[in-house]
Amino acid sequence: MFGQNILLKDVIFEYLKGRQESISGIHKKLEEDGYKFHRLMVTGYLKAMSDLGQLKETDIPPAKVYSVQAAHRNESIYEALGGLVKRYGLPQKEEAGLAVHCMHRLFQRPVFREELQRCGLDAATVDASESSAEERATARRIFTKTAIKIPFNDAAYVPRDAEKYERFCFEVVFELVRQAFNAGSLSIKGKQTKLEGLQ
């Protein structure tokens, strides 16, 4: 029913990102996405997540609504990457271009506009090239194994000027690794590099 890398709790966290939802609403979303569970099973699962402190349960008669507990709200790789890219203070177009370069390096595929938006970046204009239709279709199939939904006609991008962003891409990726493993205390703090010459 789920891809090998998807857990029901991850799907529910995705549904509740930045909002609260009733049992009926969550059950309906699961059915719309092809996940067939009895309503009582969904109710029990949500109650268990609440008992474990992962979800906050609130009574809003006649329903119970659920939201993600702040302590269990893990930052996604998109949010972490977007935060690091924004530190450089680039124009929006180049912020998106740097993010495309970093994600293309990490994931070895075109990057969708939806992913840029998940980074918290303006994807109206992007300093990158649109991928071919074939590359886009191949990349889109990857998301059938995840809880992330990519709009059918979503644009996909590949780096346009690799040399322009490469050095800073490595800085961003290295910082992602440090954050993921809480390894900042193991490194010598250096002066932050500025993205000079891009503006």
Predicted confidence (pLDDT) per residue in 70-94, tens digit: 655 567 889 899 999 999 999 999 9
Tokens 């929006």: give the residue.
92
Contact call for residues 92 and 121 (beta carbons, < 8 A): yes
- Collapsing DSSP states into helix, strand and coil, what is residue 157? strand
- In this structure, is residue 2 part of a structural domain? no
| Boundary residue ending a domain (30, 49, 72) | 72
Is the previous residue joined to 62 through a cis bond, with omega within 30 degrees of 0? yes
- In this structure, is residue 29 part of a structural domain? yes
| Structural domains of the chain, count | 2
Contact call for residues 158 and 110 (beta carbons, < 8 A): yes
Does 174 share its domain with 115?
A: yes
140 class by beta-carbon count within 10 Å (0-12 exposed, 13-18 middle, 19+ buried): middle
- In this structure, is residue 199 part of a structural domain? no
The CATH number linked to 36 is 1.10.10.10
Contact call for residues 25 and 19 (beta carbons, < 8 A): no
Q: Which domain holds residue 144?
A: 77-186
Residues of the chain above pLDDT 90, percent:
53
Integer Cα distance of 196 and 174 in angstroms: 19
Does 173 share its domain with 129?
A: yes
Predicted confidence (pLDDT) per residue in 12-67, tens digit: 988 888 789 999 999 999 999 888 899 999 999 999 998 888 888 998 888 899 99
- Collapsing DSSP states into helix, strand and coil, what is residue 5? coil
Give this prediction's pTM.
0.66
